[in-house]
Amino acid sequence: MAKVDYQVRPAVPNGFTVINLATGEETLITNKTFDLYKVGVAYQALLKAKKAGDVSNVIVQLDEDLRKSATSGMTATAATAPQPDTEPEKTYSSEGAKTIHESVAVKPSKLKMSELKWKFLMRSIVRAKNIMMTGDAGSGKTQAAIAAAKAGERELFSFNLGSTGDPRATLIGNTTFNKEDGTLFAPSAFISAIKTPNAVILLDEITRAHPDAWNILMTVLDQGQRYVRLDEAPGAPIVNVDPSVCFIATANIGSEYTSTRVLDRAILDRFTIIEMDLLTDEQEKDLLREMFPKLSNYDITAVSSIAYQTRQQKEIGKLSTGISTRMSVEICDLLSDDFTLIECAEIAIYPLFDSEGGVDSERTVVKQIVQRFIA
């Protein structure tokens, strides 16, 4: 079979023209013949040329018989014909898997979280799993949970377990008595939440919760049980968790969080953990620029660099804590109200660090860092 030189040029929508360089003959290839034609080297050359940004000067070696057979009346429907320079639509094993992987498109730009961890978080919502978000204070754990619930169009119920004085009242409800009605049980908002289909329930600050709260949550979070008993008495009624409910807990784990408790291993085993990453200097700059577009580049760089350097000092043991992303945002908010950087430091940075020890104190270390950015 003869080999002929051809030039490929884009033509009408959904097609292109193949020019026989020996005879000058032009053949229009449209979407009707595209499905057959794509197997030829001309189609492959066109794709490569488009990606390289150069279509008009593509020379291809095309089997003459293939060109003739492709334009001899054998057709493919326009609906199934692929378009030049487009990849076939990705197929998924289920609608749930499609939702999980395509959720990357709705991840908020201000949420600095890897696509992999975002998809894993979204999977937990779609598949009604238990997830625990860990990481330093201000790293975006709660923000990620709220964003994921919104992206999944799920109703969010939030319970701050760290501020729970009476775990039973918060998670189960209250029993009251009066002469007219006798003993009455008023279920808690948590009981209503776990019965809500497709709900996302945020258990914020679970490491600050009272151990009684953990005991109540044991059966709620157990994938083999998923219920809460309204009373400890034998035969007491139970409330089942709706099968579509997802639980997301946030936890601060580390010696610097002095008001937290070490999680019971049985509770910990009921979750899969996603660890929120600390932002790099550049990531924090990008976030602050997006949130505070009117601030100068110098101010943005100063705030992100100070925060990043305190975290580095924490890593090597010179500081007990670092400036969180949440605090960086607060400092930029102050700068937006025309506070100076040194005023921001006095108000929002220095109080975070111990002054005990004089020139060797943590506060002195931080002041030295801040001074490098004072104009």
HSE at residue 240, side-chain half, CA atoms within 13 A, is 7
Rounded Cα gap, residues 263 and 304, in angstroms: 32
Domain membership of residue 88 (yes or no) is: no
- Domain boundary (275, 304, 328) is at 275
What's the Cα-to-Cα distance from 352 to each of 163, 329, 368, rounded to whole Å?
A: 22, 15, 15
SS3 label, residue 132: strand
Domain membership of residue 77 (yes or no) is: no
Domain membership of residue 34 (yes or no) is: yes
For 5, residues 6+ apart whose C-beta sits below 8 A from its C-beta are 20, 21, 22, 59, 60, 61
Question: For position 254, what pLDDT does the model report?
Answer: 53
Verdict on whether the full-model pTM lies above 0.85? no
Domain membership of residue 82 (yes or no) is: no
Rounded Cα gap, residues 291 and 333, in angstroms: 9
Place of tokens 């119920």: 157
- The answer on 121 and 166 residing in a single domain is yes
Question: For position 358, what pLDDT does the model report?
Answer: 80
Burial (0-12, 13-18, 19+ Cβ within 10 Å), 196: middle
Identify the CA nearest to 300 among candidates 344, 365, 354, 244.
Answer: 344
- The answer on 138 and 22 residing in a single domain is no
Identify the CA nearest to 170 among candidates 152, 191, 149, 154.
Answer: 191
Question: For position 82, what pLDDT does the model report?
Answer: 45
Domain membership of residue 242 (yes or no) is: yes
**Are residues 1 and 63 in contact, defined by beta-carbon separation less than 8 angstroms?**
yes
Question: For position 2, what pLDDT does the model report?
Answer: 54
- The answer on 111 and 48 residing in a single domain is no
Give the structural domain span for 329: 281-371
Domain membership of residue 64 (yes or no) is: yes
What is the phi-psi region of residue 37: left when phi exceeds 0, alpha when psi lies from -120 to 50, beta otherwise?
alpha
Rounded Cα gap, residues 39 and 61, in angstroms: 13
- The answer on 141 and 42 residing in a single domain is no
User: Can you read off the two tokens belonging to residue 41?
Assistant: 């080297």
Domain membership of residue 81 (yes or no) is: no
Question: For position 52, what pLDDT does the model report?
Answer: 57
Per-residue confidence of the chain (375 residues) as pLDDT tens digits? Answer: 455 566 666 665 556 677 777 777 777 665 544 444 443 555 555 555 555 555 444 445 444 444 554 444 433 333 334 444 555 677 888 888 999 999 999 998 888 888 999 999 999 999 999 999 998 877 889 999 999 999 999 999 999 988 777 888 889 988 777 777 666 778 899 999 999 999 999 999 888 888 888 889 999 999 999 999 887 767 778 899 999 999 999 988 654 444 556 677 888 899 999 998 878 888 899 999 999 999 999 999 999 999 999 999 988 989 988 998 889 999 999 999 999 999 999 999 999 998 888 888 999 999 999 999 986
- The answer on 288 and 271 residing in a single domain is no
Question: For position 35, what pLDDT does the model report?
Answer: 43
- The answer on 287 and 269 residing in a single domain is no
Sign of CA dihedral 62, 65, 66, 67: positive
- Domain boundary (257, 275, 293) is at 275
Domain membership of residue 80 (yes or no) is: no
- Domain boundary (275, 294, 318) is at 275
- The answer on 63 and 173 residing in a single domain is no
The number of folded domains in the chain is 3
**Are residues 304 and 285 in contact, defined by beta-carbon separation less than 8 angstroms?**
yes
**Are residues 164 and 107 in contact, defined by beta-carbon separation less than 8 angstroms?**
no
- The answer on 285 and 270 residing in a single domain is no
Question: For position 11, what pLDDT does the model report?
Answer: 61
Rounded Cα gap, residues 137 and 208, in angstroms: 13
User: 59 pairs with which residues across the strands?
Assistant: 7
Question: For position 277, what pLDDT does the model report?
Answer: 82
Output the domain CATH number for residue 228. 3.40.50.300
- The answer on 109 and 192 residing in a single domain is yes
Sign of CA dihedral 25, 29, 30, 33: positive
- The answer on 247 and 103 residing in a single domain is yes
- The answer on 286 and 271 residing in a single domain is no
User: Can you read off the two tokens belonging to residue 210?
Assistant: 């009272």
- The answer on 236 and 106 residing in a single domain is yes
Q: What is the distance of C-alpha 268 from the center of its chain?
A: 22
